[in-house]
Amino acid sequence: MKKDKNDKNAKRTWIQYGIFAVIAIALYATGLHTEVIGFAQRGLLATGLMNPDVKDITEVRHADNSSSEATTLPAATKADFSLKLMDRDGNITSLADLKGKVIFMNFWATWCPPCIAEMPSIDKLHEEMGDEVAFVILSLDQDFELAKAFDKRKGYNLPIYAPASNLPPMYQSSAIPTTYVIDAAGNLALTHKGMADYSNSEFKDFLKSLK
Protein backbone atom coordinates (compact mmCIF):
# COMPACT_ATOMS: atom_id res chain seq x y z
CA MET A 1 0.00 0.00 0.00
CA LYS A 2 2.78 2.39 0.99
CA LYS A 3 4.73 1.41 -2.13
CA ASP A 4 1.72 2.19 -4.35
CA LYS A 5 1.38 5.62 -2.70
CA ASN A 6 5.06 6.35 -3.23
CA ASP A 7 4.78 5.27 -6.85
CA LYS A 8 1.82 7.60 -7.37
CA ASN A 9 3.67 10.53 -5.76
CA ALA A 10 6.72 9.85 -7.92
CA LYS A 11 4.54 9.68 -11.02
CA ARG A 12 2.81 12.96 -10.09
CA THR A 13 6.20 14.62 -9.58
CA TRP A 14 7.47 13.48 -12.97
CA ILE A 15 4.27 14.71 -14.61
CA GLN A 16 4.78 18.13 -12.98
CA TYR A 17 8.40 18.22 -14.16
CA GLY A 18 7.22 17.28 -17.62
CA ILE A 19 4.65 20.08 -17.68
CA PHE A 20 7.25 22.62 -16.51
CA ALA A 21 9.67 21.37 -19.17
CA VAL A 22 7.07 21.71 -21.92
CA ILE A 23 6.22 25.25 -20.78
CA ALA A 24 9.91 26.20 -20.61
CA ILE A 25 10.58 24.80 -24.08
CA ALA A 26 7.54 26.61 -25.47
CA LEU A 27 8.65 29.91 -23.94
CA TYR A 28 12.15 29.58 -25.35
CA ALA A 29 10.84 28.50 -28.74
CA THR A 30 8.56 31.53 -28.98
CA GLY A 31 11.08 33.93 -27.44
CA LEU A 32 8.66 34.80 -24.66
CA HIS A 33 11.01 33.62 -21.90
CA THR A 34 12.76 36.99 -21.98
CA GLU A 35 9.53 38.83 -21.28
CA VAL A 36 8.48 36.37 -18.58
CA ILE A 37 11.82 36.79 -16.77
CA GLY A 38 11.66 40.55 -17.31
CA PHE A 39 8.17 40.66 -15.81
CA ALA A 40 9.42 38.77 -12.74
CA GLN A 41 12.33 41.19 -12.36
CA ARG A 42 9.96 44.15 -12.14
CA GLY A 43 9.22 43.04 -8.60
CA LEU A 44 12.85 43.77 -7.76
CA LEU A 45 12.63 47.16 -9.45
CA ALA A 46 9.67 48.03 -7.23
CA THR A 47 11.97 47.94 -4.20
CA GLY A 48 14.04 50.84 -5.56
CA LEU A 49 17.26 49.03 -4.64
CA MET A 50 18.48 49.03 -8.24
CA ASN A 51 17.92 52.73 -8.87
CA PRO A 52 20.87 55.10 -9.43
CA ASP A 53 21.75 57.30 -6.48
CA VAL A 54 21.00 60.69 -8.00
CA LYS A 55 20.55 62.53 -4.71
CA ASP A 56 24.28 63.00 -4.12
CA ILE A 57 24.84 64.07 -7.72
CA THR A 58 22.08 66.66 -7.47
CA GLU A 59 23.49 68.04 -4.23
CA VAL A 60 26.96 68.40 -5.73
CA ARG A 61 25.58 70.19 -8.77
CA HIS A 62 23.77 72.65 -6.56
CA ALA A 63 26.77 73.31 -4.32
CA ASP A 64 27.52 76.99 -3.86
CA ASN A 65 30.30 77.80 -6.33
CA SER A 66 31.62 80.44 -3.96
CA SER A 67 32.17 78.01 -1.12
CA SER A 68 35.49 76.38 -0.32
CA GLU A 69 33.83 73.03 -0.91
CA ALA A 70 33.25 73.93 -4.56
CA THR A 71 36.98 74.09 -5.20
CA THR A 72 37.25 70.38 -4.37
CA LEU A 73 34.53 69.26 -6.79
CA PRO A 74 35.77 66.94 -9.56
CA ALA A 75 36.00 68.33 -13.08
CA ALA A 76 33.02 67.50 -15.25
CA THR A 77 33.50 64.78 -17.86
CA LYS A 78 32.57 65.97 -21.33
CA ALA A 79 30.28 63.62 -23.23
CA ASP A 80 31.33 62.20 -26.59
CA PHE A 81 28.87 63.42 -29.24
CA SER A 82 30.47 61.60 -32.18
CA LEU A 83 28.06 58.64 -32.00
CA LYS A 84 26.02 58.23 -35.20
CA LEU A 85 22.46 56.98 -34.92
CA MET A 86 19.97 55.38 -37.31
CA ASP A 87 16.30 55.94 -36.53
CA ARG A 88 13.44 53.53 -37.22
CA ASP A 89 12.99 55.00 -40.71
CA GLY A 90 16.63 54.51 -41.67
CA ASN A 91 17.61 58.16 -41.31
CA ILE A 92 21.12 58.81 -39.99
CA THR A 93 21.52 61.40 -37.29
CA SER A 94 24.13 62.11 -34.65
CA LEU A 95 24.21 62.59 -30.92
CA ALA A 96 25.70 65.99 -31.78
CA ASP A 97 22.28 67.01 -33.16
CA LEU A 98 20.97 66.91 -29.60
CA LYS A 99 23.61 69.19 -28.11
CA GLY A 100 22.18 71.75 -25.72
CA LYS A 101 19.49 69.37 -24.46
CA VAL A 102 19.41 67.01 -21.52
CA ILE A 103 19.85 63.55 -23.06
CA PHE A 104 18.61 60.24 -21.64
CA MET A 105 20.40 57.47 -23.55
CA ASN A 106 19.58 53.84 -22.78
CA PHE A 107 21.40 50.83 -24.29
CA TRP A 108 19.14 47.77 -24.47
CA ALA A 109 18.22 44.68 -26.49
CA THR A 110 15.11 42.55 -26.94
CA TRP A 111 16.95 39.44 -25.66
CA CYS A 112 17.86 41.13 -22.34
CA PRO A 113 15.36 40.46 -19.49
CA PRO A 114 16.52 43.40 -17.28
CA CYS A 115 16.08 45.69 -20.30
CA ILE A 116 12.53 44.45 -20.73
CA ALA A 117 11.90 44.84 -17.00
CA GLU A 118 12.80 48.54 -16.93
CA MET A 119 11.24 49.49 -20.27
CA PRO A 120 7.77 50.38 -18.88
CA SER A 121 9.38 52.91 -16.53
CA ILE A 122 11.34 54.41 -19.44
CA ASP A 123 8.16 54.62 -21.49
CA LYS A 124 6.40 56.40 -18.62
CA LEU A 125 9.35 58.78 -18.21
CA HIS A 126 9.27 59.52 -21.94
CA GLU A 127 5.55 60.24 -21.83
CA GLU A 128 6.01 62.69 -18.97
CA MET A 129 9.29 64.36 -19.98
CA GLY A 130 9.61 63.76 -23.71
CA ASP A 131 9.21 67.49 -24.38
CA GLU A 132 11.92 68.45 -21.88
CA VAL A 133 14.48 65.69 -22.40
CA ALA A 134 15.91 64.10 -25.57
CA PHE A 135 15.54 60.32 -25.47
CA VAL A 136 17.87 57.95 -27.30
CA ILE A 137 16.76 54.35 -26.80
CA LEU A 138 19.63 52.55 -28.52
CA SER A 139 19.01 48.94 -29.56
CA LEU A 140 22.00 46.59 -29.57
CA ASP A 141 20.05 43.85 -31.35
CA GLN A 142 21.82 42.43 -34.39
CA ASP A 143 18.54 42.80 -36.26
CA PHE A 144 17.06 46.27 -35.69
CA GLU A 145 13.70 45.00 -36.97
CA LEU A 146 13.32 43.01 -33.73
CA ALA A 147 13.56 46.20 -31.68
CA LYS A 148 11.07 48.01 -33.89
CA ALA A 149 8.63 45.11 -33.73
CA PHE A 150 8.94 44.92 -29.93
CA ASP A 151 8.31 48.66 -29.56
CA LYS A 152 5.24 48.46 -31.79
CA ARG A 153 3.85 45.36 -30.08
CA LYS A 154 4.16 46.99 -26.67
CA GLY A 155 2.63 50.25 -27.89
CA TYR A 156 5.54 52.30 -26.54
CA ASN A 157 6.37 54.47 -29.58
CA LEU A 158 9.76 55.27 -28.06
CA PRO A 159 12.48 57.06 -30.06
CA ILE A 160 14.50 53.92 -30.75
CA TYR A 161 17.74 53.90 -32.71
CA ALA A 162 20.46 51.53 -33.86
CA PRO A 163 24.14 52.52 -33.80
CA ALA A 164 25.30 53.79 -37.19
CA SER A 165 28.94 53.99 -36.13
CA ASN A 166 31.28 52.33 -33.67
CA LEU A 167 30.46 53.06 -30.06
CA PRO A 168 32.87 55.63 -28.58
CA PRO A 169 34.96 54.18 -25.72
CA MET A 170 32.93 56.24 -23.26
CA TYR A 171 29.83 54.23 -24.11
CA GLN A 172 31.35 50.75 -24.37
CA SER A 173 29.76 49.14 -21.35
CA SER A 174 30.27 45.53 -20.31
CA ALA A 175 26.65 45.29 -19.23
CA ILE A 176 23.21 46.04 -20.58
CA PRO A 177 21.03 47.76 -19.87
CA THR A 178 23.29 50.75 -19.36
CA THR A 179 21.93 54.27 -19.17
CA TYR A 180 23.83 57.49 -19.76
CA VAL A 181 22.52 60.95 -18.92
CA ILE A 182 24.12 64.02 -20.50
CA ASP A 183 23.34 67.48 -19.17
CA ALA A 184 22.49 70.54 -21.24
CA ALA A 185 26.09 71.74 -20.97
CA GLY A 186 27.36 68.57 -22.64
CA ASN A 187 28.70 66.86 -19.52
CA LEU A 188 28.22 63.16 -18.76
CA ALA A 189 26.14 63.50 -15.61
CA LEU A 190 25.29 59.84 -14.95
CA THR A 191 26.28 56.34 -15.99
CA HIS A 192 24.11 53.58 -14.56
CA LYS A 193 24.78 49.91 -15.35
CA GLY A 194 21.86 47.56 -14.78
CA MET A 195 18.13 48.00 -14.64
CA ALA A 196 16.33 50.74 -12.72
CA ASP A 197 12.97 52.39 -12.25
CA TYR A 198 13.33 55.71 -14.06
CA SER A 199 9.76 56.87 -13.54
CA ASN A 200 10.18 57.88 -9.89
CA SER A 201 9.96 61.54 -8.86
CA GLU A 202 13.54 61.71 -7.59
CA PHE A 203 14.96 60.79 -10.99
CA LYS A 204 12.66 63.23 -12.77
CA ASP A 205 13.82 66.01 -10.45
CA PHE A 206 17.40 65.01 -11.23
CA LEU A 207 16.78 65.39 -14.98
CA LYS A 208 15.21 68.79 -14.44
CA SER A 209 18.28 69.91 -12.51
CA LEU A 210 20.49 69.25 -15.54
CA LYS A 211 19.00 71.95 -17.77
What total number of domains does the chain contain?
A: 1
Q: What is the CATH number of the domain that holds 72?
A: 3.40.30.10
Query: β-pairing, 160-163 with 178-182?
Result: unpaired
Give the integer Cα–Cα distance in Å for 140 and 176: 9
Query: What domain range includes position 93?
Result: 54-208
What average pLDDT score do residues 128-148 get?
97
Higher pLDDT, 28 or 63: 63
* Span 26-52, pLDDT tens digits: 434 545 567 878 777 888 888 888 899
Per-residue DSSP letters for 83-133? -EEEETTS-EEEGGGGTTSEEEEEEE-TT-HHHHHHHHHHHHHHHHHTTTE
Determine, yes or no, domain membership for 39.
no
* Span 159-171, pLDDT tens digits: 999 999 999 999 9
Predicted local confidence at residue 35, as pLDDT: 80
The answer to whether 5 touches 83, Cβ cutoff 8 Å, is: no
* Residue 187 pLDDT greater than 70, yes or no: yes
Determine, yes or no, domain membership for 36.
no
* Span 75-105, pLDDT tens digits: 689 999 999 999 999 999 999 999 999 999 9
Mean pLDDT for the chain? 83
Determine, yes or no, domain membership for 47.
no
Determine, yes or no, domain membership for 204.
yes
Give the integer Cα–Cα distance in Å for 56 and 88: 36
Cis peptide before 120 (omega within 30 of 0): no
